Amino acid sequence: MKEKIVLAYSGGLDTSVIIPWLKENYDAEVIAVCGDVGQGKETDGLEEKALRTGASKLYIEDLTEEFITEAIYPCIKANAVYEGKYLLGTSMARPIIAKKLVEIAKKEGATAICHGATGKGNDQVRFELTIKALAPELKIIAPWRLDTWGMESREDEMAYLEARGIPFPAKKDDSYSRDRNIWHLSHEGLELEDPANEPNYEHLLQMGVSPENAPDVPEYVTVDFEAGVPVSVNGEKLGPVALLTKLNEIGGKNGIGIIDICENRVVGMKSRGVYETPGGAILYYAHRELEYLCLDKKTLAYNEVASNKLTELVYSGEWFTPLREALCAYFDHTNATVTGSVKMKLYKGNIISAGATSPYSLYNESIASFTTGEMYNHKDADGFINLFGLSMKVRAMMLQNNENK
């Protein structure tokens, strides 16, 4: 019986070449697996393509809702943003896909999992760390890192398929390298490879429009949360997929969630890309506004520390680790009271606060109002300031004494 290899399959040129390459170099049966995390029409026609290029079968697994509830929601609760800009769209999706690869490999009795990630990218790390954590007995095959791969360009890959009589629609390589899911769309390549160039937004944007092309009138949107999880938009309760789809539509047409970043990859190099995350940007903003209302000072401050660590773990593919699980448990706890409604004004790429309410609000008008309330006595501030500033006063007295000697 032939060895079985499970391939993370997208239907693009790389994975289309990998199927016959695996059969030739490993004399193995190749089982293709596509994890659908909301990439839309990209899954159309995949089965025919996979079988035509030599796969024995293709699994198309709908992981969209799992992606949202098991990966996106925990990161929203943590306000996890990489290097101040990137909302982790690809980073969050890869462990969910890799987990499914492992499940199918075990079901099929496969001995190895193969992926088409290059030796320069982050995805190789994210896929392989997940496989190691969930199935350490499985072998991992990464063709782009092997001497036997023998291909260095798109032209080499096209020639490989042509020599074997495998049809593949040829098209000029004049597009960006993209990764799409329900949370975001990333763009790399072309003019973006030079950080000095302004992105050609008219050419690259697909989830929405540039701020310049957004409507000249603002649009208001209200998002309700329960324990840190978004549950409704503009008063309409929606499931996870419908809710994010709705916010993507609203945010996209208002030019929301477009970022340009030169980020630090896991492997050490810098990479420049543009990300579209319209619905995600709205959810992150709304969640943070609600936290400002519902969390005490010290919890809010420590969340920054814990968020930075969780973000690092997610970006680096360390999803299935005890620390990531513990940090998510921490954020589940701190989000227990992050319940309420946030209203925002969207205008030409900007998200502007327009009010928030919560049954767990820590804002107390009797204390905060300029009008003296029953709960706050101005005279109490005298003793507080004297004690709070005591160390500063003692040091100043010491300096004065030394100056007078």
56 annotated binding-site participant: no
**What are the residues whose beta carbons fall under 8 Å from the beta carbon of 158, sequence distance 6 or more?**
13, 168, 170
116 annotated binding-site participant: yes
Helices within 254-277 (DSSP H only): none
**What are the residues whose beta carbons fall under 8 Å from the beta carbon of 354, sequence distance 6 or more?**
220, 343, 344, 345
* DSSP state letters, 200-243: -HHHH--SS--GGGS-SS-EEEEEEEETTEEEEETTEE--HHHH
CB 264 within 8 A of CB 83: yes
Q: What is the CA radius of gyration of the chain?
A: 26
Q: 42 vs 15, 86, 183, 218, CA distance in Å?
A: 14, 23, 15, 33
Return the DSSP state at 70: I
**What are the residues whose beta carbons fall under 8 Å from the beta carbon of 340, sequence distance 6 or more?**
224, 225, 290, 293, 294, 356, 357, 358, 359, 360, 361
CB 154 within 8 A of CB 182: no
13 annotated binding-site participant: yes
86 annotated binding-site participant: yes
301 annotated binding-site participant: no
126 annotated binding-site participant: yes
122 annotated binding-site participant: yes
Given 94, 180, 272, 324, the catalytic residue: 94
358 annotated binding-site participant: no
9 annotated binding-site participant: yes
Is residue 361 annotated as part of the catalytic site, yes or no? no
376 annotated binding-site participant: no
16 annotated binding-site participant: yes
341 annotated binding-site participant: no
Given 56, 62, 154, 177, the catalytic residue: 177
271 annotated binding-site participant: no
Tell me how far apart the alpha carbons of residues 323 and 310 are, in angstroms, rounded to a whole number.
Answer: 8
CB 353 within 8 A of CB 287: no
Is residue 123 annotated as part of the catalytic site, yes or no? yes
11 annotated binding-site participant: yes
272 annotated binding-site participant: no
Given 36, 123, 179, 224, the catalytic residue: 123
* DSSP state letters, 140-179: EE-GGGSTTT---SHHHHHHHHHHTT---------S-EEE
12 annotated binding-site participant: yes
99 phi/psi in degrees, rounded to 5: -60, -45
Residue type at position 9: Y
14 annotated binding-site participant: yes
180 annotated binding-site participant: no
Is residue 296 annotated as part of the catalytic site, yes or no? no
Write out the two tokens for 278.
């319209």
Quote the crossing angle between the two packed helices 297-315 and 322-334, to the nearest 10°: 150
CB 324 within 8 A of CB 310: yes
Write out the two tokens for 201.
């937004």
153 annotated binding-site participant: no
Q: Give catalytic residue positions.
A: 14, 94, 123, 177
Residues forming the annotated binding site for L-citrulline? 86, 91, 122, 126, 177, 186, 263, 275
Residues forming the annotated binding site for ATP? 8-16, 116
Residues forming the annotated binding site? 8-16, 86, 91, 116, 118, 122-123, 126, 177, 186, 263, 275
Residues forming the annotated binding site for L-aspartate? 118, 122-123
